[in-house]
Amino acid sequence: MATKSARLDSIVVPMPLLAGLVLVGLPLYAYLSPIVLWYVFALTVWSALAIIGKVPIPSGSIRLLLAMVIVGALYVSYGAVFGLIPGTSMVLLLAYLKLFEIKTRRDITVIIFLGYFLASSLFFHSQSVWVALYVIVLAIYFTSLLVMVADRNASTSLLQRLKIALRMVLQSLPLMLIMFVLFPRIPGPLWQLPKDAQSASTGLSEEMTPGDINKLVASYDVAFRVKFDAPPPDNRNLYWRGLVLSDYDGKTWRRDNAPDWTRPEVEIYQQAGDDIRYRVTLEPHQHNWLYALELITGFDDNYRLTRELQLLSNNLVSSVISYRAQASLQASNHGLYPPERRKNLELPAGYNPKTLALAQAMRRTAAGNPRAIVQAVLQYFSNQEFYYTLTPPLLGNNAMDDFLFKSRRGFCEHYASAFTTLMRAAGVPTRIVLGYQGGEINPVDEYMIVRQSDAHAWTEVWLDDQGWMRVDPTAAVAPQRIERGIQSAGLEKQYLPGLLQVNSDVLNRVRFVWDSFQNGWNQWVVGFDEQKQLKLFKMLGLGDVSKSDLMLYLVVAMSFVGLLVAWWVIRSGYYQPRDRVRYYYRYFLKRLSRQGLEITEQDTSQEMLTRLKIKFPDMAEQASNIVKQYQDLIYGQSRNRGTEKTFVRLVRTFRI
């Protein structure tokens, strides 16, 4: 029964620990470099073999060597041992090494704490519902390991430990919630974040090569969600501007932004009811640009707008952010300096001779009128045999020639690219805009969902009298794409995301509910910041609160809820209510003693009854009945709910 030392008797313990490290490591594997990954695998196998006794536990000097190899491997893989990924890898690997030198219970505790730490690092990569659930499971598991360490007689089973841990996690939820809601949020980093604090994700990239976007179309992921203040505009006006590409090398389009000190020149026509106000909740995409409806006329102060009307943030968007913006369908952009004009006319020399020739011909026909040239090109797209497809053939060196005269199959970026090339060749400044087009209203929460599959590329043409004018060449080929969205564009269904292919009301309903849940998660959990805190207090009718108010509320609520939790923990949960048979028997004895009957714990019930008979002769029979029933219940086999009830009633009706 007794274990007399804090030292461990056997190495049985580390197996559940190793399982914990594997569990917490699994989601991290995707981010580890191959060398580190192999090292993790090797250590996993080695420690598993050591634990079951197939290989000896490595000695101190070997462990030191292994630790040095870890540092070396990290340095080779990442060029550093600090930063997010190297740091997490280091903690993971050191936790593995620690498995080899468990001597006391405290060593195990250290590994468990490293496990909690690693679990929290998962949130750097994703803050989705799934990751949150996984981390809760990990928290329960590691807490059950703490129980294992504290259970020094080793008398609990794995299931019992998990139950105890689960109960503790459940009991921790109220206080966690209070702290989460009321703890004052200090914005911004306390120190410079490591460069790799973000990791790759889906979405538009900084450049565009025809063939890029149609890969995105297969993704059902949410790019961002929008809440309009008023009913949303028509689908054909939903152009979500991201970034502007001006530089073309014959293959790839890139950004060529005007200098930072330049200002946008937006002209707003004052017409009533034209403003579209909305709030965007953007999923992290690891870039610094934001998406805003064309034509942007207002935005949050902490962002800036470039001359090309790209809305930029100062930091990379690495977690869900939310911003307000304003758009007007009537506004126009008049920014064009001579260098911009030059830039937007440039084409790589010596490429696409046929395209250039076509452009010259069109320019002549249109007599140099830019509007007429635009019409001519669009008509060319719609009259000739062009197809809108997700599976365009590969293009050669003269990509535009190949597309315009040979394949004639393409996706939005092909049309935007070809259109821009033709316009520039015809002498009209033109550039490409990348973003999303369309969006779907979720009837459950009225949020508009814009998915990766809505990614789109269109163009802007400079007209001297009007400024930049949006032209979407895809609309000439597949007008339904712009009118009704990607799923109605007549594209090959098998390449669209699975959920966009089906047309089931039930399924639609389910995915809308699910999406509104995810949206709520983003809005209220992942995106819970200072503003949300204030908003919540307004919603609760508490008005404006300051940070010190918040602290006060926190302290008050924590004391109050803390007491409730304490009551909960102490009263129920671990310890079920006391035995009512014993309780009522004590109550019975207490009442007798209040009447002056001397009762001590050492008395047998016979002695007590004898004394009772002398003092209260008329009660003796009833009392002895109670004593007899009590003994039957405690020592006999007859105990059940019914007999318990009879006993309780008997005690209650006992009158002296």
Nearest distance in Å: CB 456, another protein = 31
Nearer to another protein, 45 or 173 (CB): 173
Out of 29, 41, 82, 180, the only residue in the binding site for another protein (CB under 8 A) is 180
End-to-end CA distance of the chain: 48
Known catalytic membership, residue 456: yes
Nearest distance in Å: CB 304, another protein = 20
AA identity, residue 120: S
Interface residues for another protein in 572-591 (CB under 8 A)? 574-579, 582, 586, 589-590
Please report whether residue 15 would count as binding another protein according to CB under 8 A.
no
Helix, strand, or coil here: 348? Answer: coil
Q: How far is CA 21 from the centre of its chain?
A: 22
Interface residues for another protein in 354-373 (CB under 8 A)? none
Interface residues for another protein in 123-162 (CB under 8 A)? 123-124, 127, 131-132, 135-136, 139, 143, 146-147, 149-153, 155-156
Interface residues for another protein in 632-651 (CB under 8 A)? none
Please report whether residue 106 would count as binding another protein according to CB under 8 A.
yes
Helix, strand, or coil here: 16? Answer: helix
Out of 28, 74, 119, 293, the only residue in the binding site for another protein (CB under 8 A) is 119
Known catalytic membership, residue 274: no
Residue pointed to by tokens 């394949």 = 407
Q: Please, what's the b/e burial string for 170-198 (b: 16 or more CB within 10 A of its CB; e: otherwise)?
A: ebeebeeebeebbeeeeeeeeeeeeeebb
Known catalytic membership, residue 412: yes
Token output for 570: 């102490």
Distances (CA, A) of 467 to 258, 264, 334: 17, 12, 5
Nearest distance in Å: CB 37, another protein = 24
CB 158 within 8 A of CB 545: no
Helix, strand, or coil here: 478? Answer: coil
Nearest distance in Å: CB 525, another protein = 6
HEC-encoded secondary structure of 48-68: HHHHCCCCCCCCHHHHHHHHH
Nearer to another protein, 214 or 533 (CB): 533
Print the binding letters for residues 19-58 with another protein: x by CB under 8 A, - otherwise.
Answer: ----------------------------------------
Please report whether residue 105 would count as binding another protein according to CB under 8 A.
yes
Nearer to another protein, 511 or 535 (CB): 535
Nearest distance in Å: CB 249, another protein = 37
Out of 1, 272, 349, 614, the only residue in the binding site for another protein (CB under 8 A) is 1
Interface residues for another protein in 319-348 (CB under 8 A)? 319
Nearer to another protein, 196 or 247 (CB): 196
Nearer to another protein, 494 or 606 (CB): 606
Question: What strands, in cross-sheet order, belong to the sheet with 448-451?
Answer: 296-299, 321-328, 275-282, 222-228, 448-451, 440-441
Find the angle CA(234)-CA(235)-CA(237) to the nearest 5 degrees: 70
Instruction: Name the one range near another protein by CB under 8 A: 182-190, 226-234, 277-285, 487-495.
Output: 182-190
Nearest distance in Å: CB 565, another protein = 7
Cβ atoms within 10 A of the Cβ of 589, count? 20
The DSSP code for 257 is P
H helix runs in 408-524, sequence order: 412-425, 473-477, 479-484, 498-501, 505-521
Please report whether residue 607 would count as binding another protein according to CB under 8 A.
no
CB 347 within 8 A of CB 425: yes
Could you say which of 212, 412, 454, 515 is catalytic? 412
Instruction: For residue 347, give the nearest of 264, 439, 423, 440 by alpha carbon.
Output: 423
Q: Which helix (H) or strand (E) holds 555?
A: helix 547-571
CA 600, CA 593: separation in Å to the nearest integer? 9
Interface residues for another protein in 492-551 (CB under 8 A)? 525-529
Print the binding letters for residues 259-298 with another protein: x by CB under 8 A, - otherwise.
Answer: ----------------------------------------
CA 404, CA 418: separation in Å to the nearest integer? 7
CB 270 within 8 A of CB 279: no
Radius of gyration of the chain measured on its C-alpha atoms:
36
**What is the Cβ-side half-sphere exposure of residue 426, based on CA atoms within 13 angstroms?**
30
Nearer to another protein, 171 or 326 (CB): 171
Interface residues for another protein in 391-450 (CB under 8 A)? none
Could you say which of 107, 212, 454, 472 is catalytic? 472
Out of 10, 383, 602, 640, the only residue in the binding site for another protein (CB under 8 A) is 602
Out of 110, 162, 316, 499, the only residue in the binding site for another protein (CB under 8 A) is 110
Out of 13, 168, 327, 545, the only residue in the binding site for another protein (CB under 8 A) is 168
Residues identified as active-site: 412, 456, 472
